[in-house]
Amino acid sequence: MKERPILVAVIGYIIGILWGLYFKFSIVLFNIIITAIYFIFLKYLKNNHKKRFKLLSFKRYSRYLKLYINKKVIFIIMIFSIIGNGILNYQQQKYGNTFQDGENIEITGIIVSSKTEKEYYNLYQIKVLNSKTYNLYIQVNKNNKEFDYGDKVKLQGKYNKPSKSRNYGGYDDSQYLKTLKIAGRIKVSNIKLLEKQQINKILIHINNIKLKINKKIEENMEQEKAAILKGLLLGETQDISNETKENFQISNISHILAISGMHIGYIILGVELLFKKLMGKRKTRIIIIVVLVFYTLLTGFSPSVVRASLMSIIVIGSKMIYRKADIINSIALSLFITLLYNPFLILHAGLQLSYLGTIGIILFSKLMLSITQKFKLNSKIAEILAITLSAQIMIIPVICFHFNNLGIYFLITNLLVSFIIGPIIILGFIYVLTANLLGNVVKIGIELLIIISKFSELPFAKIYIPTPNFLIIILYWIFILTIKQIYLLYQKKQLTPTEKRAKNLIALFRYKFNNKKCIKTIFFLISIFIIFHFCIPQKLNIHFVDVGQGDCTFITTPQNKTILIDGGGSTTSDFDVGKKILIPYLLDRGYTTIDYVVISHFDQDHVRWYYYCS
């Protein structure tokens, strides 16, 4: 097995972060217990000299585990798990030592974002001076003057602490803001400009370029098309309507709105075409690295572009020093740098989908290509399908976890998008950097994307999936990786001694368990489980759901019947209680159907949710 200490270190670092997020037990004490168990296990193996063959023997298969998990691996994982846990706890403490909720505060800081227009106020991000611990959002009344990136301001206002999840599995604003390194919001009552351009001049120039690009797009395109193009080129999706976002997500093409390896690939290709013949390979690679750093700054350090840029820079840098880059180590190193900057990014859906999609392509693309080619498809179509399937294999459980639905037309939509997204991105970059000549062509491409997203309106385009727990997700990944290895084992002609033993063991398992008695036993156990799960009365559970204004009660009976009483809602707000709170809550609890709906009375704060869901 090829040694990858960077990968092992990152696994340990992630374990430490997750431990700090979900467990209160000391990870140092846990590592001591694991070490003790490991040495007891080694002593057991050493003292157990029984030679009698056992098919289902822990000792028999532990030697294969030792190929991957040895003393060195365990030591690296333990050290970096403690480091990861320590960094996360330090960050947690920083966010906890801010202000009290509702406290009137006075601070001085520098605005580090452009204005985001809301209905009643303008939103800015501010870096607090004399404190390296956090940034804040500030809500400034629209009657006040507007501020620019880099302005130093002094303000007074009320601090609003981010809210925790109000329901089981619900949205946690505090955790989301931590992925952005934001500690809370201030509703500004008084603000005064002190100085202009009090931030790095390079960052100010980059922000001005970004503003000019946005202005050009907005002035020459309809609102929705302009919003989509900004998403495609800069990763800015805040102006895209919720309906369009949902259509893209259900059609399984929302990944094109997140800057990814595809965009970075086109940038590298463009720079090579422009400079390679004029300046040679080495200087062109330096230019590529500079351009990638610039583009990462331009797009605001989104997790997917950081991943793609870091990986590309690592690969290009290794070529410059005449060393071959290992793709797995490159992914691991880029992830480590990202999580070192902000460990809470491990919770970011975009980061999870970006890295897992890339890992899926690396692990399964060759296998999927060999399968798709058997259908005698066009080579380009077979390659696109192979890449799409490879990425989907790894990210399906994460999509179910975050979005609770699956789009069944993902192969068709991704195939169609793959033929037009490249030209749209390339022509889009040319359009924003040069004249308006290509504007109409880019508009046509975006219109085609919108048409493809309408697949979301077809029958059965959206299937609701209960939220899977972490154990189910881990077991799924173990299962698909095992299936892959078994498939490759039977396709490979030249086997190593270990592979031969593994193949013989599979044959032995099939011989031992492929008989009527075994099948009857398995069928009996499954039947007992079904009877136990569905027929034996369970506990009566009553859940009171926080839906804001109004009431909502969800009941599961001992006979596994589900009853929903009321659901909330408001006549003074268009907030979709049913879609935003009620349906996610039911799916997080593991239910996709409701047997009975009871409405206590027909006031809007009890029944309006029904109009949203129907």
What lies within 8 Å, CB to CB, of 509 at 6+ separation is: 55
Q: For residue 505, count other CB atoms closer than 10 A to its CB.
A: 14
509 falls within a domain: no
Question: Does some domain include residue 529?
Answer: no
Q: How far apart are CA 503 and CA 489, in angstroms?
A: 7
Cβ partners under 8 Å of residue 368, min gap 6? 385, 386, 387, 389, 390
Separation CA 238–CA 427 (nearest Å):
23
Looking at the structure, tell me whether residues 11 and 147 fall in a common domain: no
Of 440, 468, 496, which residue constitutes the final position of a domain?
468
Residue 479, pLDDT score: 92
Helix, coil or strand: residue 260? coil
Q: Is residue 508 part of a domain?
A: no
- Together in a domain, 276 and 353: yes
User: Residue 126 pLDDT more than 90?
Assistant: yes
Q: Examine the domain organization and report whether 254 and 383 are in the same domain.
A: yes
Structural domain including 557 reads: 541-613
510 is a domain residue: no
pLDDT at 510 over 90: no
From 424, 445, 468, the end of a domain falls on 468
Mean pLDDT, rounded, for 483-502: 80
In a domain, 424, yes or no: yes
Spatial contact of 415 and 388, defined as CB atoms under 8 Å apart? yes
pLDDT band at 446 (very low <50, low <70, confident <90, very high): very high
pLDDT tens-place string over residues 184-211 = 999 999 999 999 988 888 888 988 888 8
Within 13 Å, how many C-alpha atoms sit on residue 397's CB side?
16
| CB of 391 closer than 8 Å to CB of 377 | no
370: in domain: yes
Q: Are residues 53 and 168 in the same domain?
A: no
Question: Which CATH number fits the domain that encloses residue 162?
Answer: 2.40.50.140
Return the CA Rg of the chain: 28
List all residues 6 or more positions away from 120 whose beta carbon is below 8 Å from its beta carbon. 141, 142
How far is it, in rounded angstroms, from Cα 367 to Cα 284?
A: 34
Burial of 273 from C-beta contacts in 10 A (0-12 / 13-18 / 19+): exposed
Same domain, 70 and 110: no
Q: Which residue has the higher pLDDT, 105 or 51?
A: 105
- pLDDT one-digit tens code per residue, 89-99: 998 888 887 88
Amino acid residing at 524: F
pLDDT at 44: 64
**pLDDT, tens digit (0-9, with 9 covering 90-100), for 267-301:** 888 888 888 888 888 889 899 999 899 988 888 87
- Asked whether residue 193 falls in the same domain as residue 235, the answer is no
DSSP tag of 344: G
Q: Are residue 381 and residue 452 in the same domain, yes or no?
A: yes
Question: How many domains would you assign to the chain?
Answer: 4
Give the mean pLDDT of 377-406: 87
Q: Domain for residue 473, yes or no?
A: no
Is the pLDDT score of 18 beyond 60?
yes
Instruction: Return the structure tokens found at 457.
Output: 């309106």
Alpha-carbon span 343 to 281, nearest angstrom: 36
- Residue 603 in this model has a pLDDT that exceeds 90: no
Whether residue 179 contacts residue 339, with contact meaning beta carbons closer than 8 Å, is answered with no
pLDDT tens string 447-487? 999 999 999 888 888 888 899 988 899 999 999 998 888 88
Comparing 39-48, 59-68, 171-180, 556-565, the range with the smallest average pLDDT is 59-68
Same domain, 270 and 295: yes
For the whole model, what pTM was predicted?
Answer: 0.85
User: Are residues 153 and 191 in contact, defined by beta-carbon separation less than 8 angstroms?
Assistant: yes
In which band, very low, low, confident or very high, does the pLDDT at 152 lie, cut at 50, 70 and 90? very high
Q: Are residues 182 and 228 in the same domain?
A: no
pLDDT at 139: 93
Q: Do residues 339 and 394 both lie within one domain?
A: yes
Q: Is residue 483 part of a domain?
A: no
pLDDT at 1 over 50: no
Residues 6+ apart with CB under 8 A from 303: 338, 345, 348, 350, 351, 354
Domain co-membership, 309 together with 452: yes
Taking residues 517-528, report their average pLDDT: 75
Rounded to 5 degrees, what are φ and ψ at 54? -130, 125
Residue that finishes a domain, picked among 164, 199, 234: 199
Residues 314 and 438 in one domain: yes
Query: What pLDDT was estimated at residue 513?
Result: 65
Report the chain's mean pLDDT, rounded to a whole number. Answer: 84
25 φ, ψ to 5°? -70, 140
pLDDT in tens, 225-270: 999 999 888 888 888 888 888 888 888 888 787 777 777 888 888 8
Confidence of residue 68 (pLDDT cuts 50, 70, 90): low
